[in-house]
Amino acid sequence: MTKKSIVSKSVKYLMLASILGTTGISLMVGSSADASQLSPVVTQELKASEKIQNSAITYVDADGYMQVMPIEEGAVVSLSGTKKAITVKVGKEKTKIEGAKEVIFKGITIAKKSHLHLTTSIEKIKLDNVKTEKGFEIKDLPNLDTFLVKDSSFGSESAYSMKVHGNDKLTSYIIDNTKFEDNFYIHHNDELEVSYISNSVFDKNVRQEDNKEGYYTQFVGNTFVRDGRHEDSISSGGKSEKDIFFINEHKEIEMGATRYNAEKEGKIKYILPDGEKQKYVVPVGVDVETVVDKKDTVIITLTNGEVLTLQSPKSLTFKNVNITKRISFQNKKLKLENLAFNDCKTATIDIAHVHSLKTAQFFYTHVGNGHNAHVNIHDNDGMEMFVVQDSVVDAKLRLDDSEKLTKYVLNNVLVPGYMNADDLGETVLEISNSKFDHKIYSSQTIGGEAGRMNTGDEPVLTSEDSAKFDPFVELTREELMSKFNILAMDDDDGDITKNVTFEGLENVDIYTDGTYEITIVISDSDQNIVKKNVQLVIGY
């Protein structure tokens, strides 16, 4: 093995930076995040190192020259650091790298517990296609500005895979397409404002705390693997805006876009055991005071003195109502299958041991009336789907002990408190564009995004299944609407036929006889989308 070789005396530090900033990257685990979700700065940083030698340690020395230390393929390396140098050990041979400003480890395997501590010269460290058999620690590097990891994997040592802490000048921290078998820590980096972590896999706890005030982590396209039995966490230093994290943020979409409007009337919709749908209109200025169960009955008391007694309801939806006191359903005899809150403001919601309950959904809703208002749903063994979308939950968001669950979705949600998900069968938690100020405790794997969910009050779209049109005649909207006899009605918005659009018309050739499939599309004010495929026939 050649300890080191000077690639070019004319290649200076800026040339290395240029190489790192202009090349492409190939992900080995697979990218689940759209590039648009990552900032341009991060994307540029990740276009890296194809021109850097593989199976080597490349660095810029104290004089500004780029040096390459080849590492024999398959050799196992150990690393350590002191104030003056990084020590690289391969077998029995040791090499000291002194005064290095920037170090790139590419295509090597690092054995034992390795750490880089104290070295004063280092400003940038990059790990590319690196495998560590044990943990890896970056600590107390006084001039470290940038730390980047990609296409790598980290084992376990003393209950961690990676620790990055005590680096006073660290400002850029990027990880992509990397696996961590044990705990992962980012803490006490005084100037670090944000970390970008994408397309990576975490098998254990992830913890951040005591970085720069206002610090946040951007998690994009990652998978947090859980075994279904033991809870692990993603956590910050406590419930505080000073230290937060985002999961799969989409900056163009608002989080927590609650829509309760006290100037509009509300509705309480319910379905009785025989399938009959009923609706009570809540007048402007009237709130819902209590919602309680008694055996198989739901009793709703309003501030105008009215009381609704719902006998064995199968479905219950609150629309644009303010519920001022705690909702508690605890009765095993309750027959309720579906519960939804749309455009509401509510107090705490506690639901347990309602064995009939299949779905609980929150849309455009703020669970925020009263101190530490929370959602606590547990031990409902018939639960199949849980959705929180465009909502805010002030304190705890808990769902557990529901082994039949098949769908768990958070979209565009703010959770200033903590989230708990446990004992939910094989369900994978799908979280998109959501922000957390405290922690997520979960025994369920977290990964992927579900896409937008309908509220359950979809418009009703009716039309003919097929319609015939003369060839050589331009298709107009008026003729399409008429011949297909299209009607779109919504319970809240009324007649919304004028909002109908069409998909697939670009594939219709009006000069060629034949049958073409197009799609009629309608959406309501809640962004519920209904589509219907129909046959458009060209011919006489």
d(CA 313, CA 352): 17
pLDDT at residue 527, rounded to an integer: 86
pLDDT at 13 over 60: no
pLDDT at 439 over 80: yes
- Residue 13, Cβ neighbours under 10 Å: how many? 17
pLDDT at 23 over 70: no
Share of the chain above pLDDT 70, in %: 91
Query: Model confidence over 266-283: pLDDT tens digits?
Result: 999 999 999 999 999 999
Among 15-29, 198-212, 286-300, 460-474, name the one with the lowest average pLDDT. 15-29
pLDDT at residue 19, rounded to an integer: 40
- Residue 311, Cβ neighbours under 10 Å: how many? 11
Whole-structure pTM value:
0.86
pLDDT at 468 over 50: yes
Query: Model confidence over 404-429: pLDDT tens digits?
Result: 999 999 999 999 989 999 999 999 99
pLDDT at residue 37, rounded to an integer: 64
pLDDT at 17 over 90: no
For residue 279, give the amino acid letter. Answer: K
Q: Where are any strands of DSSP class E within 29-135?
A: 56-60, 66-70, 76-81, 85-90, 93-98, 102-106, 109-110, 114-117, 124-128, 131-132
pLDDT at residue 237, rounded to an integer: 78
Element counts in the chain: helices (H) and strands (E): 3, 55
Query: Model confidence over 387-409: pLDDT tens digits?
Result: 999 999 999 999 999 999 999 99
d(CA 405, CA 523): 28
Query: Model confidence over 308-344: pLDDT tens digits?
Result: 999 999 999 999 999 999 999 999 999 999 999 999 9
Bridge partners for 363 per DSSP: 342, 389
Q: How confident is the model at residue 41 (pLDDT cuts 50, 70, 90)?
A: low
Residue with tokens 């961590």: 180
Print burial letters for 415-453: b (CB count within 10 Å at least 16), e (below 16): bbbbbbbbbbeebbbbbbbbbbbbbbbbbbbbbbbbeeb
Q: In this structure, are residues 180 and 205 in contact, taking their beta carbons and an 8 Å threshold?
A: no
Query: Model confidence over 503-530: pLDDT tens digits?
Result: 999 999 999 999 999 999 999 988 899 9
Q: Is the pLDDT higher at 255 or at 10?
A: 255
pLDDT at 30 over 70: no
Region 234-254: mean pLDDT is 90
Among 48-52, 191-195, 428-432, name the one with the lowest average pLDDT. 48-52
Region 469-498: mean pLDDT is 96
pLDDT at 435 over 90: yes
Region 492-500: mean pLDDT is 94
Planar angle of CA 129, 126, 63, nearest 5 degrees: 130
Region 477-496: mean pLDDT is 95
Q: How confident is the model at residue 4 (pLDDT cuts 50, 70, 90)?
A: very low
Region 489-502: mean pLDDT is 94
Region 365-380: mean pLDDT is 94
Q: How confident is the model at residue 49 (pLDDT cuts 50, 70, 90)?
A: low
Region 467-481: mean pLDDT is 97
Q: Which of 113, 81, 117 is closest to 98 using CA atoms?
A: 81
Query: E strand or H helix at 17, and its extent?
Result: helix 13-22
pLDDT at residue 457, rounded to an integer: 81
pLDDT at residue 25, rounded to an integer: 29
pLDDT at 50 over 80: no
pLDDT at residue 209, rounded to an integer: 94
pLDDT at 91 over 90: no
Query: Model confidence over 59-74: pLDDT tens digits?
Result: 998 888 999 999 998 8
Residue 5 structure tokens: 């070789």
Give the chain's mean pLDDT: 90
DSSP state of 252: T
